[in-house]
Chain A
Amino acid sequence: MSFLEMHHVSKSYGQGQTEVRALDGIDLSVESGSLVAVMGPSGSGKSTLLTIAGSLEDPTSGEVRVGGASLSAMSRNDKARLRRRSIGFVFQDYNLLAGLTAVENVSLPLELDGVPLKRARVAGMEALEELGLADRAPHFPDELSGGERQRVSIARAVVGERHLLLADEPSGALDSTNGEAVMRLVLAACRRGVAAVIVTHDAQLASWADRVVFLRDGRVVDQTQPPPSPESLLLPSPQS
């Protein structure tokens, strides 16, 4: 089942001669359990697509459905609740709150949603443990490396019962080893049933995805086909 569906979604800024069309008739479905990467150059509409999918911005036209529910039918409060409960965001610059420890950052979305403090902290610890960060729980963001901060932000994005993970250049500021670790975590979340969209201009990141969608001037211009088995890359040994 598609957890995220975008139908003919367009987004314009400005009017008349100064109108800029950031998205132009986007159709995109993301199944639960699958990872979709959106690739495109700067200005192709990648980040706009993500903010609209995450209900942070409204489209000018078209429909977005998350978990079967149409965003256009929701009030601002409904959307805020949806974001707190179902959607996790990961940004290039982590967006952790400097005054909170790792576990407090991770459990914050649950606390804001009314989960009792103790239960929220337990869930936060579980999310950190799953990502191998239990020992970093009491540390503040400025005591963590860049790779650890991004892993904490992924823990925050998947804490509780989140079903949709939206990531904007999640390893943009990391070296390739840490970038790979981040993508392994995103993929692991998908294998547990989360639907994920990452937007990136980095082909190495995108290649972790089940499907790669190419964006250009606000339009989907192409997408990859399901790749054949990687075994085909390993050539059979020639007979002597």
Chain B
Amino acid sequence: MSVRHALLGLLSDGPKYGLQLRQDFEATTGEVWPLNVGQVYTTLQRLERDGLVESDGADEGPQKGFRITAEGEAELAQWLRTPPDLSAPPRDELVIKVLVATRLPGVDVHEVIQSHRRYLVELMQQWTRLKEDEAEFDLGLALVVDAELFRLDSVIRWLDTADGRIKRAGVEPTAPTRSALPRLRRRIGVQP
């Protein structure tokens, strides 16, 4: 996550001190992403070096205030509209575990999948409780919790699909198809 741009966003509605920025950052992200003050000041120094914020000239410390520059506003506007790079699939540990499980004799893939599914559902139950208790009153937290629930849900959907696909394909471990992965890598532009 870009702390740099999040800080620019917080400064766009008025000048602030470092400590205040930390508090605002945590409040905005529903207190799910904590941030230490050192990180805030290091980031502000870099933003100042790059001309995206300017300080009020006070000495380093809690009394030093920062404001966003016109260049900073432009950078923020561009960042907001630039999609994050989702073109290449991440090296997903869970996908790799299931792929390995399908190739190991004596391993019940469905049981492996179920243990991950249960863990993910338990995690979703925790996030949902948080929504039940607090999110109704805190937009930032509600948005973060929804994002996390959809992310976990998509992993469970993949597990469900994998479960069904493996069942239809039969339970015998399959030999790796050597040609499939390089082809896939080429198609989606991932460097081996």
Contact = CB atoms under 8 A, between A and B. Distances in A.
Interface of A: 39, 41, 184, 187, 201-204, 206-209, 212, 214, 216, 221-225, 227-230, 232-240
The size bracket of the interface on B is: 35 or more
B118 A237 contact: no
B38 interface: yes
Nearest to A180: B131
B75 interface: no
B128 interface: yes
Interface string B44-87: 00000000000000000000000000000000000000000000
Contacts, number: 87
Given A203-B124, A204-B150, A222-B118, 8 more contacts: A201-B160, A203-B156, A206-B121, A207-B125, A222-B115, A230-B133, A238-B36, A240-B38
A187 B132 CA distance: 10
A207 B149 contact: yes
Is chain A's binding surface mostly helix, strand, loop or mixed?
Answer: loop
Interface of B: 26, 31-38, 110, 114-115, 117-118, 120-122, 124-130, 132-133, 149-150, 152-153, 156-157, 160, 163-164
Given A207-B127, A238-B34, A227 B153 contact: no
Contacts of B36: 237-240
A233 B130 contact: yes
B118 A203 contact: no
B149 A230 contact: no
Most chain A beta carbons < 10 A, residue from B117, B121, B153: B121
A172 to B, nearest CB: 15
